[in-house]
Chains A and B, each alone.
Chain A
C-alpha cells in the first residue's frame, strides 16, 4: 500500500493539486484577515477560530474534497492509465483504495494548512488593525482538535466523492455531485435528517448538542472507512475498458 501511495503521489507532481492544497487555505487566510480588519468580527480568538472552522466545514471542505478526488481520478482517466495500473500484479481493489487513501491524506494536509491559515489570519488582522486585535489566548489546541474532528467526519464525503470520481470518466459527474451535495447541505442544515447527510457531517462537529457532534464523528469516520473499502471492491469488479 505504501508503494501504491508513493506512486500515486508521484503522479501528482506538477499537477493542479498544489494549487488546490495551498489555494484554499490562502483564500481562508485572506477572508479571516479581511473580516478582522473590517471590525465586524467578534473580538474573541476562540469565536473567530470557530467561525473560520465553520466556513471550512460548511463549504470549503466538501468543495475541496470534490476537486481533490476528481483531480486524483483524472490522473488515470485522462491518460487512460487504468489499463496499466489495474493490469499490474496488485489486487485491483487495493489500487483503487489507494486513490481514496491519497485523497484522505491530502485532505489532512489541507486541514493542517487551514489551521495555519486561520491562526495566521487572526494574527495578521490584529497586526494590520491593532484596535481590532483578537482577545484571549490563541486557541492552538482547540482549533487543532476541531479541524481534526472535521477531517475524521469528512471521510464519508471523501469516500462518496472518490467513488463517483473513480467510477465516471467525466470530471463533470463528480463536480455536479459535489456541488449538489453542498447545496443540499445548505438547505438541510436545520433539518432533522441533516444529522445523517454526509456533506453536513463535518459542520455537525460544531453542533452545540454534544450527541450530534459525536454522531457526526462516528458516522463520518466509520461510514467513510466502510464505504471506501466496499466501494473499492465494487469498482474492482467492474470492467475497465
Chain B
C-alpha cells in the first residue's frame, strides 16, 4: 500500500440551519485500501458521501479525490469515481443491461464494458430481464456493476448491504473484497454495522455527530475496543473475587460472570488460564465481540477523539 490518499478531506463541514451534520471532518483514505466509514444512523456518513460526490456543497473545507480538488476540478476528480449512494437508484422499467447502457452513456463508457461488469457481478444470465423483477440482492449487485463501469479507481459504497438477506450480504462482501486486488480500486464503504465492515475493511473512520471519533487501521480500533468475557463457573462469587483481585472489574449478570476484556485471543486465554490455575471449574465461556454500538458508547463515554 502506498501513502497516497484516494480521498482526503480537510476541515469538511456542513450545516443544515443550526444542525451541524458534518463538523470539521478530516478524512484520509489510503489508496488501495478498503476503508470502512462507520457511524450510527444520522452520524453524518451519507452527508459526507454526498459532499465527496459533489451532490451537496460543504459550508467549509475541501475534498480531494485521487489528488484532484473536487471544487476546482470536478470533472477530472469524479472521472475516477464509481458510487452507490443509499438505496440503489435503478430504473425498474429498464432491463439490467439497459440500466448499464444508460449509465455508460452518461460517462462515455464503451458498450463492451457492460458485459465485463455484468460478469463481475454474475448477472449475465438475467441482464435482459427488467429490473423491477430483480430481487434486492440482484439490484445491489447491478448497482455495483454500474459503479464499476469505466474501471474507476475509487468506489464509494454507501451502506451497500442494507436490506440484504444473509446470502446477499455474503455475495456482496465477496465482491467488494475482490475489488482492490482484482481491479486496483480503493473502496470507501459506509456502514453502521461493525461486524460487516470488520470482515472486509482494513482501515476505518468512526464518526458521530459529524465528528471523527477514530481514524486508522481497523485492527487498532478492534484492539482498542473492550469486549466482554462471559464465564460460567462452578462458584461465580469466587470467580468474581478472583478477577477483582487481578484488577478486572467482573460482575455477575444472568448467571454468568462478565468481565471486560480486550478483543484479543491472548488476553482472553490468559484470564481463563489464570482462573483454571486457581483451581476453579469453568463449564462455559464466550468472548463477546464488541458491537459498533458498544464501541461507539465506549468512545463517546471517554469523549475520545483521534482524528489522526
A binding-site residues for B, Cβ under 8 Å: 3-4, 6-7, 10-11, 13-15, 75, 79-92, 95, 237, 239-241
Cβ-defined contact, A80 with B86, below 8 A: yes
Cβ-defined contact, A3 with B54, below 8 A: no
Interchain pairs with CB closer than 8 A, number: 86
Cβ-defined contact, A87 with B94, below 8 A: no
Known A-B contacts A10-B102, A239-B56; A83 and B86 likewise in contact (beta carbons under 8 Å): yes
Known A-B contacts A89-B79, A241-B56; A13 and B94 likewise in contact (beta carbons under 8 Å): yes
Cβ-defined contact, A81 with B106, below 8 A: no
Cβ-defined contact, A91 with B57, below 8 A: no
Residue of chain A at shortest CB distance from B108: A3
- Chain A residues near B56 (CB-CB < 8 A): 239-241
Q: In this assembly, does B268 line the interface, its C-beta being within 8 Å of a C-beta of chain A?
A: no
Cβ-defined contact, A80 with B106, below 8 A: no
Q: In this assembly, does B123 line the interface, its C-beta being within 8 Å of a C-beta of chain A?
A: no
Q: Which of B89, B93, B108, B130 contacts A80 (CB 8 A)?
A: B89
Cβ-defined contact, B50 with A7, below 8 A: no
For the complex of A and B, list the 6 residue pairs with the smallest distance between their C-beta atoms, beginning with the closest.
Answer: A7-B105, A87-B53, A239-B56, A83-B85, A89-B79, A89-B78
- Chain A residues near B93 (CB-CB < 8 A): 13-15
Bound CA span A85–B87, Å: 14
Bound CA span A92–B53, Å: 12
Q: In this assembly, does B98 line the interface, its C-beta being within 8 Å of a C-beta of chain A?
A: yes
Q: In this assembly, does B124 line the interface, its C-beta being within 8 Å of a C-beta of chain A?
A: no
- Chain A residues near B85 (CB-CB < 8 A): 83-84, 87
Residue of chain A at shortest CB distance from B85: A83
Known A-B contacts A13-B98, A239-B56, A239-B57; A88 and B107 likewise in contact (beta carbons under 8 Å): yes
Cβ-defined contact, B75 with A89, below 8 A: yes
Q: How far is the CB of B117 from chain A (nearest CB, A)?
A: 15
Cβ-defined contact, B106 with A10, below 8 A: no
Bound CA span A3–B74, Å: 19
Cβ-defined contact, B107 with A89, below 8 A: yes
- Chain B residues near A90 (CB-CB < 8 A): 75, 106-107
Q: In this assembly, does B91 line the interface, its C-beta being within 8 Å of a C-beta of chain A?
A: yes
Q: Which of B81-122 contact A (CB under 8 A)?
A: 81, 83, 85-87, 89-94, 98, 101-103, 105-108
- Chain A residues near B92 (CB-CB < 8 A): 79
Interface range on chain B (Cβ under 8 Å from partner): 20 to 34
Cβ-defined contact, A88 with B106, below 8 A: yes
Residue in A10, A75, A95 with the greatest tally of chain B CB atoms within 10 Å: A10
- Chain B residues near A89 (CB-CB < 8 A): 74-76, 78-79, 107
Q: In this assembly, does B45 line the interface, its C-beta being within 8 Å of a C-beta of chain A?
A: no
Cβ-defined contact, A87 with B107, below 8 A: no
- Chain A residues near B87 (CB-CB < 8 A): 80
Q: Could you list 18 examples of A-B contacts with CB < 8 Å?
A: A3-B105, A4-B105, A10-B94, A10-B98, A10-B105, A11-B94, A15-B93, A82-B89, A84-B83, A84-B85, A84-B146, A87-B54, A87-B85, A88-B106, A90-B106, A90-B107, A239-B55, A239-B56
Residue of chain A at shortest CB distance from B107: A88
Bound CA span A6–B105, Å: 7
Residue of chain A at shortest CB distance from B158: A83
- Chain A residues near B98 (CB-CB < 8 A): 10, 13
- Chain B residues near A92 (CB-CB < 8 A): 54
Bound CA span A5–B35, Å: 36
Known A-B contacts A10-B101, A89-B75, A89-B78; A4 and B106 likewise in contact (beta carbons under 8 Å): yes
- Chain B residues near A10 (CB-CB < 8 A): 94, 98, 101-102, 105
- Chain A residues near B78 (CB-CB < 8 A): 87-89
Residue in A3, A80, A89, A241 with the greatest tally of chain B CB atoms within 10 Å: A89
- Chain A residues near B53 (CB-CB < 8 A): 83, 87
Residue of chain A at shortest CB distance from B105: A7
Bound CA span A86–B74, Å: 11
Cβ-defined contact, B89 with A81, below 8 A: yes
Residue of chain A at shortest CB distance from B92: A79
Bound CA span A146–B94, Å: 37
Cβ-defined contact, B90 with A79, below 8 A: yes
Bound CA span A15–B94, Å: 9
Bound CA span A90–B53, Å: 12
Given contact pairs A7-B105, A83-B83, enumerate 8 new A-B contacts (beta carbons under 8 Å). A85-B106, A87-B53, A88-B106, A90-B107, A91-B75, A239-B50, A239-B56, A240-B55
- Chain B residues near A11 (CB-CB < 8 A): 91, 94, 102
- Chain B residues near A14 (CB-CB < 8 A): 93-94, 130
Bound CA span A90–B92, Å: 24
Bound CA span A206–B50, Å: 49
Bound CA span A47–B54, Å: 55
Bound CA span A10–B89, Å: 15
Known A-B contacts A11-B102, A13-B93; A87 and B86 likewise in contact (beta carbons under 8 Å): no
Residue of chain A at shortest CB distance from B77: A89
